[in-house]
């Protein structure tokens, strides 16, 4: 099958070429995003492969259908970037990678917590400059702290297990969760916001979760709360979080995703003027840690993403019903 592969990074090409050594599929790699202007690159292809910042809205899907593209495979778990109702109307098959490596993202969230808390990034830079002072590097014990987890899917549960291992009290909120390990205390979202020292987001971006962290929710939290987001940028409303950082309501913020990341992440902008006042303001805070959507980036996860995506293409081509389908 001929596949137009959008938003390609070097590690994508390496992992997919490794799994596709038998040449079952022909990948056309493009380093630009899918949008209405770039649909034409898929001319002559039967399928497209997209990532988190590609746009597969109704107009794009109709344009793809017009050039006979029938299959869309997502090399990610989230699917907020695609209009599933329009895809169903057009009889397009849409498949995703629901669980490539829950531990990869969960461990990155923990790394952000430890970095923000113990200020290892600052200590690293100090020592390299010959500054061995410990002033302003005081952290706190994770042991005994209350950690609130919003979203108890595979990533959320993997994160809960790690935090329980640190000796934390783990609160969980997920409207779909019924049975969880006994060390997770299921609570209402209001209880979670009010009681947690650390809050970590592990839920998908849906209409019900868009800006789940907003001015009203921030007011419910403890003063000095630590907030971590390794899920989707749209879960946090940017301007209220900036104000909460200025006021001291949020004591620490770690984000691996950002609401307007499409124009920034996965690109080298070191010689450019960044035209985004919110990200520049966030970058100016000493208690904010930003990584550029790298939570998934482990060897194991890349292998699983490539393996599952290629299997999804094979299943779609052969008409095999797949548990990874979003349109059946």
- pLDDT tens, position by position, for the chain (328 residues)? 999 999 999 999 999 999 999 999 999 999 999 999 999 999 999 999 999 999 999 999 999 999 999 999 999 988 999 999 999 999 999 999 988 889 999 999 999 999 999 999 999 999 999 999 999 999 999 999 999 999 999 999 999 999 999 999 999 999 999 899 999 999 999 999 999 999 999 999 999 999 999 999 999 999 999 999 999 999 999 999 999 999 999 999 999 999 999 999 999 999 999 999 999 999 999 999 999 999 999 999 999 999 999 999 999 999 999 999 999 8
Handedness of CA 214, 206, 157, 279 (dihedral sign): negative
Q: Which domain holds residue 22?
A: 2-100+299-318
Match 């650390």 to its residue by tokens. Answer: 198
Whole-angstrom distance, CA of residue 238 vs CA of residue 258: 8
| Closest among 71, 77, 79 to 54, alpha carbons compared | 79
Contact 188, 202 (CB under 8 A): no
Task: Count the domains in the chain.
Answer: 2
Active-site residue 261, yes or no?
yes
119 and 73 within one domain: no
27 and 85 within one domain: yes
Catalytic residue among 232, 259, 262, 304: 232
182 and 141 within one domain: yes
Is 81 within the bounds of a domain?
A: yes
Active-site residue 191, yes or no?
no
Q: Indicate which CATH number applies to the domain containing 274.
A: 3.40.50.720
Is 327 within the bounds of a domain?
A: no
Contact 96, 79 (CB under 8 A): yes
140 and 66 within one domain: no
Is 326 within the bounds of a domain?
A: no
253 and 132 within one domain: yes
Catalytic residue among 75, 259, 261, 304: 261
Which ranges of 94-237 does DSSP label H, i.e. alpha helix? 102-118, 120-128, 154-165, 189-195, 215-220
Q: Global pTM?
A: 0.92
Is 328 within the bounds of a domain?
A: no
261 and 303 within one domain: no
- Token pair listed for 294: 């790298």
Active-site residue 307, yes or no?
no
Whole-angstrom distance, CA of residue 258 vs CA of residue 101: 21
What are the residues whose beta carbons fall under 8 Å from the beta carbon of 180, sequence distance 6 or more? 152, 157, 160, 172, 186
Burial class for 182, CB neighbours closer than 10 Å (0-12, 13-18, 19+): exposed
116 and 13 within one domain: no
279 and 166 within one domain: yes
């Amino acid at each position: 099958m001929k596949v137009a592969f959008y938003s390609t990074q070097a590690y994508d090409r390496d992992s997919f070429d490794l799994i596709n050594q038998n040449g079952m599929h022909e990948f056309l790699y493009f380093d630009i995003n899918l949008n209405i202007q770039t649909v034409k690159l898929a001319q002559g292809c039967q399928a497209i492969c997209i990532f988190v910042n590609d746009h597969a809205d109704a107009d794009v899907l109709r344009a793809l259908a017009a050039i006979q593209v029938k299959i869309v495979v997502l090399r990610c778990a989230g699917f907020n970037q695609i209009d599933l109702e329009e895809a169903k109307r057009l009889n397009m098959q849409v498949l995703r990678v629901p669980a490539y490596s829950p531990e990869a993202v969960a461990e990155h969230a923990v790394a952000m917590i430890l970095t923000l808390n113990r200020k290892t990034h600052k200590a690293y830079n100090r020592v390299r400059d010959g500054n061995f002072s410990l002033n302003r590097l005081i952290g706190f014990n994770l042991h005994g702290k209350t950690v609130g987890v919003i979203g108890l899917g595979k990533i959320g549960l993997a994160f809960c297990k790690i935090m329980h291992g640190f000796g934390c009290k783990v609160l969980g909120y997920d409207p779909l969760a019924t049975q969880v390990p006994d060390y997770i205390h299921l609570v209402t979202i209001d209880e979670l916001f009010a009681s947690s020292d650390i809050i970590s987001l592990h839920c998908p971006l849906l209409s019900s979760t868009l800006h789940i962290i907003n001015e009203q929710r921030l007011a419910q939290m403890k003063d000095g709360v630590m907030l971590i987001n390794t899920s989707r940028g749209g879960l946090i409303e940017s301007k209220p979080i900036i104000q909460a950082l200025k006021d001291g309501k949020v004591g620490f913020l770690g984000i691996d995703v950002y609401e307007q990341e499409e124009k920034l992440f996965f690109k080298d902008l070191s010689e450019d003027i960044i035209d985004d006042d919110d990200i520049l303001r966030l970058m100016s805070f000493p208690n904010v840690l930003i990584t550029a959507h790298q939570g998934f980036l482990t060897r194991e996860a890349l292998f699983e993403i490539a393996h599952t995506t290629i299997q999804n293409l094979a299943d779609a081509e052969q008409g095999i019903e797949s548990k990874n389908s979003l349109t059946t």
